[in-house]
Structure 1
Amino acid sequence: MKLKNKLVLTGAATMAALFLGLNANAARMDMVDVSNNNGYMSTAEYVSMRNEFGVKAVTVKISEGGTYKDPYAASNIENVQAAGMYINGYHFARYATKAQAIAEADFAGQTAKSAGLPVGAVLVTDVESQESDNQSKAINDRNNAAFMKEIQKFGYRADIYTSGSWANNKMTVKGKTGWIAAYPYVVSGKNWYSTNHAWQWSSTAKFRISYGGFDVSQLNSNYYTAGQKSTVKPTNKDAVKVNNRKANKNIYKPASSAKWVKESKTYTLKTAVKLRTGASTSSNAITILPAGTTVKTDQAIIQGGYRWVRQPRFNGYGYLATGPSSNTLEYVKSDAAHTYYTVKSGDSWWAIAQRNGLSMTTLASQNGKTIYTTIYPGQRLVVR
């Protein structure tokens, strides 16, 4: 969702799950969320999602922090409604204090009103930023509660969106509330987060006439559809079932047994990276290596969505990700005159800038663009 800095959840249970393509209980595409990262979305695209994949609701990005307004919010709201689907909105939270949470809620509420989000829709606080990561659970709970209480003054219903690893760890997300993001390697018949309102199970779903990957969620309650049944129905229910199964199959592949290979190299980090006790995002962090750190490695492996390397240490080994599983060295410096970053589905100016220690304005200007220019998957941006 949103800026796409969600955590991918992994583990033995998901590795051992059945390949979804062989399971009739495919996760459903009940709801899609979109933002400026998806560019302009036409009514025809939303109709295709509804008719061919059974999408019931769309949640659009409204705002971020205390100043950013999504430039596509108004057109997304209008076109989703024209397609006959229920509409909701979300705000990407940057608040670190209660006062900031209230101020951001006021900004989000006013922006949503201006963009045409109807009263009664859900306006979610998307809590996954570094600001929230730096706070205690108690402070995050206090801030989230303040945001949700304030947003209701605008006539919107409130909810929290966060990752599965943050829910009830970094913040409280009670049963019968919440929209949880968790992307297992393979989805079985299990309905994840069935006690919460929604489970976002992929950020790479494909739709026939729309470009790029999309966040899709299964709704486990009627909260995001206001308990109402749409009068507009998919034109081909059989196609909906088939397309959902195909979409699941294309996203999830059976887990393969990765192998370590010898790699005696020295890397220089261009961004801070966690050194872990194992080659997994669920492994404990030994320390955080700052940008500029030189790391000597002896082995490498691609698994869990990342390219990992092993660093010999005086008392064993440390493990760190050098980039995504595409085998790119996204987190380490290049010897070339410039270092480039290839835009992925769901990236934004903010996410890329933060990852590379730049301001959005600097990143955009050194690529001859502004922060309001739409970026597309596959584009190469100069980051160094």
Structure 2
Amino acid sequence: MAALFLGLNANAARMDMVDVSNNNGYMSTAEYVSMRNEFGVKAVTVKISEGGTYKDPDAASNIANVQAAGMYINGYHFARYATKAQAIAEADFAGRTAKTAGLPIGAVLATDVESQEANNQSKATNDRNNAAFMQEIQKFGYRSDIYTSGSWANDKMTIKSKTGWIAAYPYVVSGKNWYSTNHAWQWSSTAKFRISYGGFDVSQLNSNYYTAGQKSTVKPTNKGAVKENNRKANKNIYKPATSAKWIKESKTYTLKTAVKLRNGASTSSNAITILPAGTTVKTDKAIIQGGYRWVRQPRFNGYGYLATGPASNTLEYVKSGATHTYYTVKYGDSWWAIAQRNGLSMTKLASQNGKSIYTTIYPGQRLVVR
């Protein structure tokens, strides 16, 4: 589809760089080789972390497989900081996480600044926080940059010439080289690649910043090495049997990380919502397909589907050994009343159920109290 799209527009922007996260699912070396050989992708920027606690579970495999494909690799951290101290703390967390995941020295580790926290700050505060993050991240041996939207650049924060990775999606991609004085211009969030599912963020590089300061492990012309890396990268990929069927499973899980609830058992299905860590999920069926273990959650208006972990059948996204005591909400109950009855604070009670104390509760709901 991407080849057709580009063919219709001779002046289309280049697909120089792709950014990926666990939202794209497991990405094999073969997929990255296809991006490189068929679409001219030079570099991949991988989500590393978010805020002060979240580590992208696919960062390490993405980094390894991009390098095996002979492409340049970079990382990004989704910023939640609102103060200078928080910016430094998040930079330390991102740097340590990147090191553990295998991001090589000399790669870019950009700060992705587009959160509500940043939206609530003044331009001067955002500039101060971004500068603190970037200065701190350099202590880990990484180069720094800022990613933000075109509407925020030089409005919510300063993006100087010869810096910055800017996202702006025109209705028609013309021959105009948008943001030509910045390092990169992200021009689409829905690009398609031949052997990969779903839409991808793609960017045109206007400098060599995201391809400098590092070396690829495999030369694109080394066909033998690419073939061997593909074999190694793909040998453990789950290949679902055509006879895969749903099985009955009446269980309640507590999520240990945020997981997308989708309208189908596939990473290409639309997301209904994002279930935060601590959410309890009651299931009625399970299946292993498409590289993941999926469960079905009955909802008031149908069903939702979420991955509990990879196809190895491990509950990677679920708290292990979680046995809970539940309380069924009755008419007239409140967060305060239930919390007092069970020796908890309202905040603790709400958070362990993936809610806030301002969330409305209804008779018949089950809440984790132990």
TM range (shorter): 0.5 to 0.7
Give the alignment partner of residue 323 of structure 1, picking from 284, 290, 309.
Answer: 309
Larger radius of gyration: 2
Q: Partner of 1:22 in structure 2?
A: 8
CA distance in 2, matches of 1:347, 1:216: 49
Q: How far has the Cα of 1:24 moved from its partner?
A: 2.2
| Change beyond 3 A, Cα 1:383–1:210 | farther
| Change beyond 3 A, Cα 1:57–1:286 | closer
Per-residue CA shift, 1:308-366, capped at 9, x if unaligned?
99999999999999999999999999999999999999999999999999999999999
Per-residue CA shift, 1:169-201, capped at 9, x if unaligned?
000000100000000110110000000000000
CA distance in 2, matches of 1:357, 1:185: 55
User: Runs of 5+ in structure 1 lacking a partner?
Assistant: 1-14
3-state DSSP of counterpart to 2:163:
coil
3-state DSSP of counterpart to 2:64:
helix
| Change beyond 3 A, Cα 1:68–1:188 | same
Q: 2:166, 2:185 within 8 Å by CA — same for their partners in 1?
A: yes
3-state DSSP of counterpart to 2:145:
strand
| Change beyond 3 A, Cα 1:191–1:154 | same
TM-score between both structures, scaled by the size of structure 1? 0.57
Q: How far has the Cα of 1:76 moved from its partner?
A: 0.3
3-state DSSP of counterpart to 1:101:
helix
Matched length? 370
Q: Partner of 2:151 in structure 1?
A: 165
CA distance in 1, matches of 2:24, 2:257: 26
TM-score between both structures, scaled by the size of structure 2? 0.59
Determine if the alignment matches structure 1 residue 137 to structure 2 residue 123.
Answer: yes
CA distance in 2, matches of 1:215, 1:352: 45
Q: 1:106, 1:150 within 8 Å by CA — same for their partners in 2?
A: yes
Q: Partner of 1:102 in structure 2?
A: 88
CA distance in 1, matches of 2:181, 2:161: 5
Q: 2:146, 2:165 within 8 Å by CA — same for their partners in 1?
A: yes
Runs of 4+ in 1 over 2 A off after TM superposition: 15-25, 227-384
CA distance in 1, matches of 2:43, 2:327: 33
| Change beyond 3 A, Cα 1:308–1:380 | same
Per-residue CA shift, 1:60-106, capped at 9, x if unaligned?
00000000000000000000000000000000000000000000000
CA distance in 1, matches of 2:333, 2:191: 15
CA distance in 2, matches of 1:73, 1:170: 29
CA distance in 2, matches of 1:50, 1:346: 60
| Change beyond 3 A, Cα 1:281–1:103 | same
Q: 1:66, 1:103 within 8 Å by CA — same for their partners in 2?
A: yes
Most deviating of 287-296 and 252-261: 252-261
3-state DSSP of counterpart to 1:91:
strand
Q: 1:88, 1:224 within 8 Å by CA — same for their partners in 2?
A: yes
Q: 2:15, 2:202 within 8 Å by CA — same for their partners in 1?
A: yes
3-state DSSP of counterpart to 2:4:
coil
| Change beyond 3 A, Cα 1:372–1:223 | farther
3-state DSSP of counterpart to 1:299:
strand
| Change beyond 3 A, Cα 1:198–1:296 | same
Give the alignment partner of residue 289 of structure 1, picking from 259, 275, 298.
Answer: 275
Higher RCO (C-alpha 8 Å, min separation 6)? 1
Q: How far has the Cα of 1:26 moved from its partner?
A: 1.6
Q: Partner of 1:372 in structure 2?
A: 358
| Change beyond 3 A, Cα 1:303–1:289 | same
CA distance in 1, matches of 2:97, 2:219: 31
Q: How far has the Cα of 1:25 moved from its partner?
A: 2.3
CA distance in 2, matches of 1:83, 1:177: 27
Q: Partner of 1:229 in structure 2?
A: 215
CA distance in 2, matches of 1:154, 1:251: 32
User: Runs of 5+ in structure 2 lacking a partner?
Assistant: none
Give the alignment partner of residue 114 of structure 1, picking from 84, 94, 100.
Answer: 100
Q: Partner of 1:208 in structure 2?
A: 194
Q: 2:185, 2:206 within 8 Å by CA — same for their partners in 1?
A: yes
Q: How far has the Cα of 1:44 moved from its partner?
A: 0.5
CA distance in 1, matches of 2:337, 2:209: 29
Determine if the alignment matches structure 1 residue 252 to structure 2 residue 238.
Answer: yes
Identity of aligned residues (%): 93
Q: 1:29, 1:244 within 8 Å by CA — same for their partners in 2?
A: no
Q: How far has the Cα of 1:203 moved from its partner?
A: 0.4
Q: How far has the Cα of 1:124 moved from its partner?
A: 0.3
